[in-house]
């Protein structure tokens, strides 16, 4: 293009680097041809990428700083990138290693955090000012400023334990504290079923740094475990605040265990005691307490009196004295002022004779006259909880005690053996008894022996 005696050449096809350019004129009827001096044209490449192109910080309390998020800038061009400014707009701040320049192919990182100065949605940008043609590069920023009112509740949970059904427990308390810098508006305080708010001085607002205490009671409507929640609804940043509640509905008074089985006990003797616990689950005293037993069972000791304080316990010791052998049953019963009176426990025991000699009969094989049979063994068992004393063993011919582990006494619940042989004198049937005399009430214990001579 010719303009004012100058030739102008425009192109966008030159590659990055240094280029030599000359202008040539071939001449015409009026002008001679000519060639210009060589000109050098330098083509530079600026290219910048920024990742990510936006950052979202979510909710952040006013006056506090978020955790930083990273932005990476990469110089993908062939020329050094030189920064004039790197800045974040209001409510956001930045820091990092990008200044003052980034070489071709290199990267740097900027860290941005969010420090809201007001509540509500907030927007901003991180700006990179540099010598690239597309400067500034922009990363879009967003976040939401929230109230600095923060409420804490202590304790973190309430456990009421066992409580008589349909009766209100003593109150337990939860303290609500505003640890923030502004007042908080309390919209509601509620408790779920079986729990109730017994006192609430908190009001509609709670000033910064102040606290209030809420009373809660537990009134179970049925037996078994119960859970619930005390909930505070307000405009604090951590709304709602929830306190887990727990307890168990139980009968007004309980007698435990509900059943008891005694070990085998020699008739006429008394067992070791088993202990039962009477518990008053009410918030008032249990009165008019009367304890009784049936069958072969008896109260041997008790810490219970005619009344039992609220939430208190007492114990009852019961023994077993069987009057006869076999399985025997009875009941421990406590009557009182509770609406589930009487409280009862089922009792079972087995009576056995004080001492036994087994087997009760023994048959010897036919034995040649004048010879001695192999011994048969009999077992003496002491079923008592005291020693068996004064033991004496006897039998008559043609039977004889050949050996024994028994002495004149036998320890409680112990056993010993007696060996007896048969030596017939004539070829006929012989019947006799083995006798054990001792201190047991069923003395003597006997076994019948039968044998035949041949």
Per residue in 255-288, pLDDT tens?
A: 999 999 999 999 988 999 999 999 999 989 999 9
Q: Are 339 and 363 in contact (CB under 8 A)?
A: no
- pLDDT-derived band at 146, boundaries 50, 70, 90: confident
Cα–Cα dist 181/61, whole Å: 11
Tokens of 371: 């010879």
Tokens of 83: 């920064």
User: Comparing C-alpha atoms, which of 163, 168, 123, 112 is closest to residue 145?
Assistant: 123
pLDDT of res. 25 = 66
Tokens of 50: 């920024």
Q: Are 110 and 71 in contact (CB under 8 A)?
A: yes
Look up tokens 């955090």; give the residue.
113
Cα–Cα dist 404/407, whole Å: 8
How many CB atoms are located within 10 Å of the residue 407 CB?
Answer: 8
How many residues comprise the chain? 454
How much is the pTM? 0.55
pLDDT of res. 41 = 56
pLDDT digits (tens, 9 = 90+) for 100-132: 999 999 999 999 999 998 888 999 999 999 999
Cα–Cα dist 69/345, whole Å: 69
- pLDDT-derived band at 99, boundaries 50, 70, 90: confident
The answer on pLDDT for 16 being more than 60 is no
Tokens of 382: 């002491």
DSSP-assigned states of every residue in 107-174: EEEEEEEE--SSSEEEEEEEEEEESSTTPSEEEEEEEEEE----EEEESS-EEEEEEETTSPPPPEEE
User: Comparing C-alpha atoms, which of 110, 247, 272, 240 is closest to residue 172?
Assistant: 247
* Burial degree of 33 (CB within 10 A; 0-12, 13-18, 19+): exposed
The answer on pLDDT for 2 being more than 50 is no
The answer on pLDDT for 4 being more than 80 is no
Look up tokens 């420090």; give the residue.
115
The answer on pLDDT for 19 being more than 70 is no
Please work out, in degrees rounded to the nearest 5, the angle formed at the alpha carbon of residue 143 by the alpha carbons of 140 and 147.
160
pLDDT of res. 7 = 58
- pLDDT-derived band at 179, boundaries 50, 70, 90: confident
Look up tokens 């930083």; give the residue.
68
pLDDT of res. 181 = 75
Q: Are 103 and 78 in contact (CB under 8 A)?
A: no
The answer on pLDDT for 430 being more than 90 is yes
pLDDT of res. 337 = 95
pLDDT of res. 1 = 45
Lowest mean pLDDT of 9-18, 398-407, 413-422, name the range: 9-18
Tokens of 171: 């109150």
User: Comparing C-alpha atoms, which of 265, 57, 228 is closest to residue 146?
Assistant: 57
Tokens of 331: 């009941």
Long-range contact set of residues 184-188: C-beta below 8 Å, sequence gap at least 24? 184/147, 184/149, 184/151, 184/234, 184/235, 184/236, 185/234, 185/235, 186/232, 186/233, 186/234, 187/233, 187/234, 187/235, 188/231, 188/232, 188/233
pLDDT of res. 64 = 80
Q: Are 240 and 187 in contact (CB under 8 A)?
A: no
Mean pLDDT of the region 401-417: 97
Cα–Cα dist 314/293, whole Å: 17
pLDDT of res. 3 = 46
Q: Of residues 178 and 41, which shows the higher confidence score? A: 178
What percent of the chain stands above pLDDT 70?
93
Q: Which letter, b or e, does each residue of 260-272 get, where b requires 16 or more Cβ atoms within 10 Å of its Cβ?
A: bebeebbbbbebe
Cα–Cα dist 194/227, whole Å: 8
User: Comparing C-alpha atoms, which of 336, 340, 434 is closest to residue 391?
Assistant: 434
Lowest mean pLDDT of 23-27, 199-203, 229-233, 443-447, name the range: 23-27
Tokens of 429: 């049937």
- pLDDT-derived band at 436, boundaries 50, 70, 90: very high
* Burial degree of 449 (CB within 10 A; 0-12, 13-18, 19+): buried
pLDDT of res. 182 = 81
pLDDT of res. 36 = 72
Q: What's CA 212's distance to the chain center, in Å? A: 30
E-state strands within 303-365: 313-320, 326-335, 343-352, 355-358, 361-363
DSSP-assigned states of every residue in 76-100: -SSS-EEEEEEEE-TTEEEEES--S
* Structural element, H or E, at residue 411: none
DSSP at 309: -
pLDDT digits (tens, 9 = 90+) for 214-265: 999 999 999 999 999 999 999 887 899 999 999 999 999 999 999 999 999 9
Delineate the domains of the chain, giving CATH numbers in brackets: 2-43 (no CATH), 48-146 (2.60.40.10), 151-250 (2.60.40.10), 253-352 (2.60.40.10), 355-452 (2.60.40.10)
Cα–Cα dist 110/86, whole Å: 9
Q: What's CA 266's distance to the chain center, in Å? A: 47
pLDDT digits (tens, 9 = 90+) for 308-323: 999 999 999 999 999 9
Q: Are 421 and 372 in contact (CB under 8 A)?
A: yes
The average confidence (pLDDT) of the chain is: 92
């Amino acid at each position: 293009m010719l303009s004012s005696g100058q030739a102008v050449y425009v192109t966008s096809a030159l590659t990055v680097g240094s280029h030599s350019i000359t202008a040539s004129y071939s001449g015409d009827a009026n002008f001679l041809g000519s060639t210009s001096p060589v000109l050098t044209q330098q083509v530079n490449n600026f290219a910048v990428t920024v990742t990510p192109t936006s950052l979202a910080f979510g909710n952040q309390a006013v006056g506090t700083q978020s955790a930083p998020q990273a932005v990476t800038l990469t110089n993908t061009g062939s020329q050094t990138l030189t920064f004039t400014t790197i800045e974040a707009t209001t409510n956001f701040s930045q820091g990092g290693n990008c200044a003052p320049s980034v070489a071709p192919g290199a990267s740097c990182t900027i860290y941005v955090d969010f420090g809201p100065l007001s509540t509500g949605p907030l927007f901003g940008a991180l700006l990179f000012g540099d010598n690239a043609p597309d400067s500034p590069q922009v990363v879009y920023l967003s976040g939401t400023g929230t109230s600095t009112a923060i409420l804490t509740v202590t304790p973190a949970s309430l456990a009421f334990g066992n409580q008589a059904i349909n009766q209100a427990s003593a109150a337990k308390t939860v303290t609500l504290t505003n640890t923030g810098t502004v007042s908080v508006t309390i919209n509601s305080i509620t408790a779920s079923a079986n729990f109730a708010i017994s006192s609430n001085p908190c009001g509609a607002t709670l000033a910064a740094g102040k606290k209030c205490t809420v009373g809660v009671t537990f009134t179970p409507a049925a037996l078994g475990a119960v859970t619930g929640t005390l909930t505070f609804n307000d405009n604090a940043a951590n709304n709602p605040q929830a306190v887990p509640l727990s307890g168990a509905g139980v009968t007004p008074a309980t007698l435990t265990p509900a059943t008891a089985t005694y070990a085998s006990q020699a008739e006429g003797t008394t067992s070791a005691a088993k202990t039962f616990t009477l518990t008053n689950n009410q918030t008032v005293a249990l009165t008019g307490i009367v304890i009784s037993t049936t069958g072969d069972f008896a109260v041997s000791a008790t810490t219970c009196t005619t009344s039992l304080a609220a939430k208190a316990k007492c114990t009852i010791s019961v023994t077993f004295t069987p009057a006869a052998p076999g399985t025997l049953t009875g009941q421990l019963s406590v009557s009182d002022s509770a609406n589930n009176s009487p409280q009862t426990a089922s009792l079972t025991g087995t009576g056995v004779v004080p001492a036994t000699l087994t087997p009760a009969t023994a048959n010897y094989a036919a034995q040649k006259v004048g010879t001695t049979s192999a011994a048969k063994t009999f077992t003496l068992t002491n079923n008592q909880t005291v020693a068996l004393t004064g033991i004496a063993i006897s039998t008559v011919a043609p039977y004889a005690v050949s050996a024994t582990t028994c002495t004149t006494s036998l320890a409680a619940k112990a056993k010993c053996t007696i060996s007896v042989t048969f030596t017939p004198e004539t070829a006929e049937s012989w019947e006799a008894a083995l006798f054990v005399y001792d201190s047991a009430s069923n003395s003597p214990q006997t076994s019948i022996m039968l044998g035949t001579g041949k």
